[in-house]
Every structure is written in structure tokens, then in C-alpha cells.
Amino acid sequence: MYRKEVPQGKSEKDSCRVPAISAGALKARMDRGEILNIIDIRLPHELAMGSLPGAVFIPLAKLISAMEGLDPAKETVLVCKNGENSEIAAIELLEQGYKGSLVNLAGGMNAWARDVNSSMPEGIASTKTNLLPGTISYPAIKVSGKNKEIAAVDESVIEEMPLTIFFNGHEMITILASVGEEEFLTTGFLASEGIIKEVGEIKAIKTDELRGIVSVETYTGEAAPEKLFLKRYLTACCGKGRSGFSYASDAVTAKKVTGSVSLTLQDITNYSQILESNSKLFQATGAVHGGALVEGGRLIFFSFDIGRHNVFDKIYGRCLIEGISTHNKIMVFTGRVSSEILIKLSKMNISIIIARSAPTSLALDMAEALGITVIGFARGERLNIYTHAQRVIMDFNPKSKLP
């Protein structure tokens, strides 16, 4: 098993290396017409409170790679929400050899809103003690009812972050994802793309949650094979003459599923209820997909994300890391079943998916060929069985009409 590495926090010595400037002092220098590099490293949702005049937005995860574009002849002012992340960013730049002058806006944009521009909403992305994990509180104007009643409210909003994966020192891809389970997501993604064949190939994973970076080191130290990764090719789908696009890695890792698991109609209803009872984050925000891995009438674990594909990668990655076999397991899913979802199921060796939403035609073509049972529109007492219905045990109602 590989080791997971998490970066250590900054020391008091580090804090002394970066001079700070107050919001008032910065405003005075800007009013005098001083030429400054003002770099705003906040997350996209934090930009809603406003920005400094002339500021350039460079997310923290991209700052080091953008270092060469900074003019060292000008003093650089780093800005974040409260002054903490920008201080760390300045230390990172210095450690990477940046030669220019760096200062940190003390208190960040909250201090600017408080001391300079009172019309700017301080701390727009505030926190609440009763928030669900993975959400923030965001002010909104709510209009409701027949009389269009208007009220100022704080709404729970799902956190979205760009997660950049480095593979053996090479930047590989940036995934937009929900906050949390970055290790599972990265491992599942690498396995489903065929970059790794088993989790034992990974030597270490270093997660930098602040910058949104996951660095993966394998024992071979080789870069990801470009011939497989994200290279599309055209193929005839499922022997029906229909052309469809897929990833080259799919041709290597997708396989026909031969699971022997079966279930009753009541099992499907029960599993749908398990999914519903674990979807509190969707109920609070309406912005995430959820997936439940189930077996024998019980939940194994649940995962959520803003991206449908990410849900499957997180679950697959967790299974790989924790040594849980996916054979004869069932996936219950909130979203639409597309062809890409079918391919992920095939790679995970899962033979049954129960979805609240609809499948696509290409997904059903693939399901027939890959041996996967697709059950859609599983809501309440209704459902549709589209493919490989032999896995569903049905007690037929005499009034039922089947071909």
C-alpha cells in the first residue's frame, strides 16, 4: 500500500519572511499612481464580493506555473479573502526562486471591504456551524409564493474546486469537482483511464488541499502514456453500425461484465430509498450527483460530486484503496446514465445500475454488449428495466403485459 502525504503547515519563521501591507496603506499607494502587480488568488465563488482595481486573477493552484509571467521589477501584492492563503502563496513563490518583491494584503479582501470600500460585502462566502460538509453559506434574495414575497436569506451552496493532478511530476489534467475525497477521486480516475492497472503501482499521493493539487508518484516514475490518455477515436458501437466516440483507454480497460448477482423488484425500491436517505447534500443544494454502492440489502458507502463521472471515480478509487471487491455489487445513482457511465461500470466490473434518471440510447447499446443491467426512472414504486432483465426476479401481476 502506498503512503499518503499531506503538506505540513507553515512555521512562524515562514510568516516572518513575507511583509504585509494594510488595506489603507495599499489604497494610498494606488491613489498615488504607483505601479503594482496585484494578484488575486481567490477561488471563483469568492470573487462575487468584488475585486481590487487592476487586479489579475490567478487561482492559487496555477500561481507557481504563472510565476514566469510576473514582472519582478514591480512589487507584487498578493490578495485572498482573509490574508492567510496569500501569505502562504508568497512563501511558495519565494521557495520556488521568485526574485521580485512580494507583499501580502493583511486581512485580504475582508479588510478592504471593512476599511476602504464599505459598499463591498465583507465575507460574502461566510460560514455556518450547521452547514453540511462540502457546502458554504451564500447570501441570496429569495422570491417565493404567489405574492412574490422577497427575503434576504443565506443559502447552502455546494463548493466547487479545480483539482489538478500531477503524475510523476507532469501536470496531467484539471478536474472540476466537489471538495473532499480527492485521494479516492484521483485513484479512481487513474484506474478507469488505464493509467494504472492496480493501486499497488502508486508509491505516494501528496494532497495539497489549499492549492487544489494532487501529486501522484508511482514506482516506475514514468509519465502517463499519451497514446491512451484522452485520445479519442472513432469506432463502430456494439456491432450495430452506429459510430460513436470513445476514449482510446476504453478499448484497453472496458470489458464484458459477468456478475451473477440478482435482485427483486422490492430490492430495487429498497436500494432507491437507501440512495434517497443519503442524499441530504442534494436536498440542501440541488447541485450534486450521488452514488451508493450496495450489496445484500445494505449500503457499503456513498459518495457525491458535482460531476457524474467523479462520483464513479470516487467510489472506484475507494474500493481500490480499501481493498473492496466490486464483484456482484450494485450501483445506485441519481443522474442520467450515459455511455461514459456504462464504460465506467464495465471497468469496475459492476453488472447492475439503478438510476433515478433516464439512460441514453448509446448507453443501452453498450449495456447490451457489455452485459450490464440498466434500470432507470427508479423513483418511488415505478422503474424501467432496459437491458439484461434476467437479473431481476419478478413476481408477475396477472394484469401485467409483457411481450
Taking the CB of residue 361, how many other CB atoms lie within 10 A of it?
10
Would you call 237 a catalytic residue per the annotation? Answer: no
Query: Which one from 16, 80, 238, 319 is the annotated catalytic residue?
Result: 238
DSSP one-letter code for 83: S
Contact between 201 and 219 under an 8 Å Cβ cutoff? The reply is yes
Strand 36-40, strand 56-57: pairing:
parallel
**CA 153 – CA 143 distance, rounded (Å):** 10
Cβ atoms of 216 and 13 within 8 Å: the answer is no
The helix (run of H) or strand (run of E) holding residue 284 is helix 280-285
Query: What 3-state DSSP class applies to 120?
Result: coil
Helix (H, G, I), strand (E, B), or coil: what is residue 368? helix
d(CA 196, CA 184): 14
Which residues, 6+ apart, have CB-to-CB distance to 145 below 8 Å?
none
Q: Dmax of the chain from CA atoms?
A: 86
Residue 247 β-bridge partners: 232
Q: Which residues are catalytic?
A: 238
